[in-house]
Structure 1
Amino acid sequence: MRPPVCIGNCSGFYGDRISAAREMVEGGPIDVLCGDYLAELTMLILAKAQAKDPAGGYARTFLTQMEQVLGTCADRGIKVVANAGGLNPAGLAAALREMAQRLGVPVRVAHVEGDDLRGDLAAITPPVGEAKPVSANAYLGGWGIAEALGAGADVVVTGRVTDASLVVGPAAWWHGWARTDWDRLAGAVAAGHVIECGPQATGGNYAFLDEVTDRRYPGFPIAEVAADGSSVITKHDGTGGLVSVGTVTAQLLYEIAEPAYLGPDVVAHFDTIALRQQAEHRVEISGVTGSPPPETLKVALNDVGGFRNTMTMVLTGLDVEAKAAFAEQQLFDVLGGRDRFAEVDVRLLRFDSTDAPTNEQATAHLRVTVKDSDPRKVGRAFSSGIMEVALAGYAGFHTTTPPTSESAYGVYRPAAVPRSSVTQLLVLPDGEQRVIADPPTAPAAAGAAEPAAEPPAPAGPTRRAPLGAVLGARSGDKGGNANVGLWARDDAGYAWARAHLTVERLRGLLGPEASDLRIERFELPNIRALNVVVHGLLGEGVASSTRPDAQAKGLGEYLRSRLVDVPDSLLTGI
């Protein structure tokens, strides 16, 4: 039995901290350096880049990071695994080999492909239709990575694998797991899900800011994955931030739906996870149960949606609503009517207060977004139209920006494809190609945890207080849906949340924009948490959404700010 494999993350998205790779490699011992560079929106960005340069389509910042650490990784035997290949993993692998040769670093670079389905869309469901998407990627698993490492690769780059696969693959290779080691694989999925977003696991974006006493830039996270699939989440000594049961819980809840977390290698049942603070900045994850994965793979499609433009008018002082109505009417009179555009979104954003002590605190924003397939309609014809009312409209007119041009936007569509229609292919440094076998599959299991006894909710007097006085939250996007994970710091807080936060009560707290949307609520009593999924809140995905908070990153903090009736017993000392 080998000791735990030490896997350090150096990227949570394309554009993350460049120096994180060097800091992870030089900050202490690790066995594997991994990085996550892909999101649904990133695939659209890479598709645009590849359209301009067919040799592109991968995350170029990864090359910058590798130039800083490749020699050190080779000297110390540190393996590198990243999904930075995007739409062109072969191109990234070739660029890495050229760099290694130039630097005089002897490394073997392999890549995994097969996720890009643009060449054959026939098997995707629901059917793609006549419009060919600019990106169509199946979510592959970690076995291609594991086999590459087993074949002696030093660096493995992939296209669209699941974020957690960047930990599952190295852990399976290191410990020699079989494709049917469901519980071990599920444990690695949980660890991978925690570290995939970099410092969000080490105090970044954390709801209880008072707990993060070391306010230096957080150290990037490390997962020490043991042979039984359990893990310890930590960070290098001497780095900022915090690793606690709370920070790990927050990240476990990030961008998930039901507790049965479906993946290409295993279904990880998040309602079986147990967390324990092992030591300072060391949190153990154990007890994760796994079951066979489904017969289909998730597919992310990005279509060209059209063109959009947004302009924001500032309203100051008195009669804000009347000024906004006047501005809207006058604007569309100038532009030739609302029907001239395929879609119009007008939002009055109120930041103003009565008798404001400063000019800025007396302002509100009227945010107007237009969309159309014709770029001329939503370009300068639109933004210059707003400027036409500058001297003819409401008192105090000004805008937050000068006239702007149109920008293209994409539309995200979730889909699925049978595994039999996807070939995961490993390409080794010598050009040898290996087809990666699928694991056994089964119909998705609804759950693995034993039903928990319902703890009694605290009784007694209540008082109005912010929801965030009792619960932490983390929110994000899942295509066109938003998720909010809510967790309590003790059993009493969870018992109250479980009883109090019904779907309808949550709907009211989320405000008018959620009034007609489907809301799902899932319980994870093992980590004292609820997960809430708001369907359709983000429309056709992040690139298309007209919400000011297009990725729902602030939705959880908004929910925490809402006043509710909280038992006095939960507010002792607050």
Structure 2
Amino acid sequence: MAQEIRIGCWAGAWGDSSAYARQLVERGDLDYLIADHLAEVTMALLARRRTRDAGGGYVPDVVESLGPLLGRIRDQGLRLITNGGGLDPHGCAAALRAAAARAGVDLRIAVVMGDDLLDQADDLRADPRIAAALPPRPLTLNAYLGARPICVALDGGADVVVTGRCADSALALGALMHEFGWDDQAYDLLSAGSLVGHILECGTQCTGGLFTDWETVPGWDDMGAPIAVCREDGTAVITKAPGTGGLVSVGTVAEQIVYEIGDPGAYVLPDVVCDWRAVRLEQHGPDRVAVRGARGHPPTTAYKASATYRDGHRLVGTAMVGGLDAGAKARRAGHAILARAGRLAGAAGHRPFTHTSVEVIGAGDTYGRGRRNDAAREVVLKVAARHPDAAALAVLAREVAPAALAMAPGITGMFGGRARPAPAIGVASALVAKDRVRVRVHLDDEVREVAIAPGRACAPAASPPLDGSGRECGDRRGEPVPLSRIAHARSGDKGNDANIGVIARLPEYLPAIREQVTAERVREFFEHHLEGDVTAWELPGLYAVNFLLTDVLGGAGGTTSLRYDPQGKAYASMLLELPVTVPSALLDLDRPAPGGAV
């Protein structure tokens, strides 16, 4: 049994740089190379792609990036795991086999099947809860499978494992279960392995990408892809290949841990319910961060299943506006364009637009009405709308460019040419009992049924949230500073919800964050977008607070929202402007090295 194994992740999304695959193969000294290509929005994009091309259901990056490296991968004995199979794992595997044949390389490629539930959609609707959650005619319906089938494929001798939809973290956890023999009841270990997978899954997001202290991160042109050095006891060290850019610090890793997890004490995955509130990080020298402290509980009896569906059409048109009072000019132009297009579309027999949006980027519109700057001198005007009929949006498309002749001075630069209507693909989710999902591994000419641990029927206990009343406590004397002075943060999306993790730069700053950066203040900060509520939880091990904002992104997934930031990626950077009051004596403490001193 291996004492430790090295797992590197070369892709954190569809479209990630192919340079990371070569970097890790040439300089990573790895045992496993994984790639996480899927997200909810990715499944929607693949669904739209497959409507135009029946063979377009998998992520082409898998073959394009790995094809030239297959000879070297085979020589090193590297094993590959990817969820780039998307909606067509067999198609992805076939393309990889063809690439291997061209390279003169013999690879045993396993395919994990069972996540595609589209053929069962009608039967599943017999459950009223599923029927209420699913659209009537889904384009796709896929369960988030876990790590056990990946482990089974590796146990069978696969060199490459291609999956469809699975939990992102399962890619690494499957390798760890295979290497260390972890069973389905080793919940603390499964949680620790899932934590490793979660840190790796977004690629360079844990090695300095998107880091709050971006100015401290060297070598953006050659960012180091992440590597986890993992041990049988569940502990790990996060690092990167030598001689690469980027930064692996307590801060960069902590930001990735809080990314999109919701309740940190009950983060539900297919194999385990994770409790990461006591996770601790320790800097072990340059670009080496040790991770420990994950705890786990039995999984649930259900898989999350996500469906994509046609949700009409949308159109987004943009133009630059410059000069005096550009913000005010652009905003008036945007509303005028929508008014005229709506009138003309109505005259042509169309119903009103179902949703419209005007945002003036550069004039503070994404921050809300109270923080606008109409005097901004150069902005981008965005005009957008949704409608069931693409023909109604075609009327709007024709009316964006004429604004440069008929409205405010300084309108120029129609970005990307004239806007065109595009299908809007929505995302919906439901819980499907695991015993309704038949999981299989195809390897060589054999199909192996995979036994999945049944889980525990009762729902996982939610962590107690922090008080969101907004009451200010303690000594308020001190110096007003932006939150960025005492914290760093990361944000992301889950469907129509957004997650913002705020991490104290020093443990001494956590009380000020807990007392002043409350759920109520976060709610007020994003009230111009928020349709749901805000819940906050503490992660004492990371000196962090995690916020979940529900119904805040303006749509059923990033491919239906009309927002310029449909996935809440800028929310953390915006929240870091929130003013807080900190005792001067604390501000006089030595500023920590990048990433804090967790």
Normalising by structure 2, we get a TM-score of 0.88
Question: In the alignment, what sits opposite 1:342?
Answer: 354
Q: Any idea what SS the aligned residue of 1:120 has? A: helix
Question: In the alignment, what sits opposite 1:212?
Answer: 217
Q: Report the Cα distance in structure 1 between the residues aligned to 2:200 and 2:360, rounded to whole angstroms.
A: 38
Q: Any idea what SS the aligned residue of 1:530 has? A: strand
Q: Report the Cα distance in structure 2 between the residues aligned to 1:563 and 1:308, rounded to whole angstroms.
A: 37
- Map residues 69-468 of structure 1 onto 2, 5 A cutoff: 69-121=69-121, 122-123=123-124, 125-127=129-131, 131-213=136-218, 215-259=220-264, 260-312=266-318, 314=321, 316-318=323-325, 321=328, 324-325=331-332, 328-329=335-336, 331-333=338-340, 335-336=342-343, 340-351=352-363, 362-379=377-394, 381-398=395-412, 400-401=414-415, 402-429=417-444, 431-442=445-456, 443-446=458-461, 459=475, 461-468=477-484
Shift of 1:263: 0.7
Q: Report the Cα distance in structure 1 between the residues aligned to 2:527 and 2:140, rounded to whole angstroms.
A: 34
Change (3 A) 1:216 1:350: closer
Question: In the alignment, what sits opposite 2:596?
Answer: none
Tell me the amino acid that sits aligned with residue 587 of structure 2.
L
Pick aligned residue for 2:504 from 475, 488, 495: 488
Pick aligned residue for 2:522 from 497, 500, 506: 506
Q: Any idea what SS the aligned residue of 2:90 has? A: helix
Change (3 A) 1:194 1:458: farther
Shift of 1:116: 0.8
Q: Is the 8 A contact 1:316 1:396 kept in 2?
A: yes
Q: Is the 8 A contact 1:457 1:495 kept in 2?
A: no
Tell me the amino acid that sits aligned with residue 176 of structure 1.
G
Q: Report the Cα distance in structure 1 between the residues aligned to 2:337 and 2:18, rounded to whole angstroms.
A: 47
Matched residues, percent identical?
34
Q: Report the Cα distance in structure 2 between the residues aligned to 1:506 and 1:344, rounded to whole angstroms.
A: 25
Q: Any idea what SS the aligned residue of 2:502 has? A: strand
Q: Any idea what SS the aligned residue of 1:340 has? A: coil
Q: Is the 8 A contact 2:313 2:387 kept in 1?
A: yes
Shift of 1:406: 1.0
Shift of 1:548: 1.1
Q: Report the Cα distance in structure 1 between the residues aligned to 2:90 and 2:338, rounded to whole angstroms.
A: 50
Q: Is the 8 A contact 1:327 1:394 kept in 2?
A: no
Shift of 1:296: 0.7
Shift of 1:445: 3.1
Change (3 A) 1:27 1:499: same
Which region of structure 1 is more displaced relative to structure 2, 296-305 or 276-285? 276-285
Which region of structure 1 is more displaced relative to structure 2, 534-543 or 93-102? 93-102
Q: Report the Cα distance in structure 2 between the residues aligned to 1:327 and 1:560, rounded to whole angstroms.
A: 29
Aligned residue pairs, count: 561
Tell me the amino acid that sits aligned with residue 148 of structure 1.
A
Q: Is the 8 A contact 1:257 1:531 kept in 2?
A: yes
Pick aligned residue for 2:550 from 528, 535, 543: 535
Deviation per CA, 1:516-557: give whole Å up to 9, x if none. 531111111111111111111112111111221111111100
Q: Is the 8 A contact 1:135 1:302 kept in 2?
A: yes
Unmatched tracts of structure 2, length 5 or more = 365-374, 467-471, 592-598
Change (3 A) 1:49 1:558: same
Tell me the amino acid that sits aligned with residue 477 of structure 2.
P
Question: In the alignment, what sits opposite 2:371?
Answer: none
Pick aligned residue for 1:471 from 478, 482, 487: 487
Q: Report the Cα distance in structure 2 between the residues aligned to 1:255 and 1:465, rounded to whole angstroms.
A: 27
Q: Report the Cα distance in structure 2 between the residues aligned to 1:91 and 1:239, rounded to whole angstroms.
A: 34
Q: Report the Cα distance in structure 1 between the residues aligned to 2:60 and 2:39, rounded to whole angstroms.
A: 15
Unmatched tracts of structure 1, length 5 or more = 353-359
Tell me the amino acid that sits aligned with residue 126 of structure 1.
I
Q: Report the Cα distance in structure 1 between the residues aligned to 2:308 and 2:393, rounded to whole angstroms.
A: 21
Change (3 A) 1:18 1:213: closer
Q: Report the Cα distance in structure 2 between the residues aligned to 1:361 and 1:497, rounded to whole angstroms.
A: 32
Q: Report the Cα distance in structure 1 between the residues aligned to 2:228 and 2:341, rounded to whole angstroms.
A: 58
Q: Is the 8 A contact 1:185 1:290 kept in 2?
A: yes
Q: Report the Cα distance in structure 2 between the residues aligned to 1:319 and 1:54, rounded to whole angstroms.
A: 46
Deviation per CA, 1:143-166: give whole Å up to 9, x if none. 111111111111111001111001
Tell me the amino acid that sits aligned with residue 65 of structure 1.
S
Question: In the alignment, what sits opposite 2:59?
Answer: 59
Q: Is the 8 A contact 1:316 1:364 kept in 2?
A: no
Shift of 1:278: 2.2
Deviation per CA, 1:143-199: give whole Å up to 9, x if none. 111111111111111001111001000000001111111111110000000011111
User: Is 1:39 paired with 2:53?
Assistant: no
Question: In the alignment, what sits opposite 1:28?
Answer: 28
Shift of 1:107: 1.3
Q: Any idea what SS the aligned residue of 2:117 has? A: coil
Shift of 1:45: 1.7
Q: Any idea what SS the aligned residue of 1:346 has? A: strand
Change (3 A) 1:326 1:488: closer
Deviation per CA, 1:453-490: give whole Å up to 9, x if none. xxx98746322221111110100111111111110122
Question: In the alignment, what sits opposite 1:356?
Answer: none
Normalising by structure 1, we get a TM-score of 0.92
Shift of 1:569: 2.9
Deviation per CA, 1:417-473: give whole Å up to 9, x if none. 1111111110012x2111111114112432689x9xxxx987463222211111101
Q: Any idea what SS the aligned residue of 1:513 has? A: coil
Q: Report the Cα distance in structure 1 between the residues aligned to 2:338 and 2:55, rounded to whole angstroms.
A: 44
Tell me the amino acid that sits aligned with residue 324 of structure 2.
G
Deviation per CA, 1:189-217: give whole Å up to 9, x if none. 00000011111111111002344355553
Shift of 1:316: 4.0
Deviation per CA, 1:99-134: give whole Å up to 9, x if none. 222221121111101101111113264316663211
Shift of 1:18: 0.7
Deviation per CA, 1:293-352: give whole Å up to 9, x if none. 011111111111111112235364249547744762465145417862222222344539
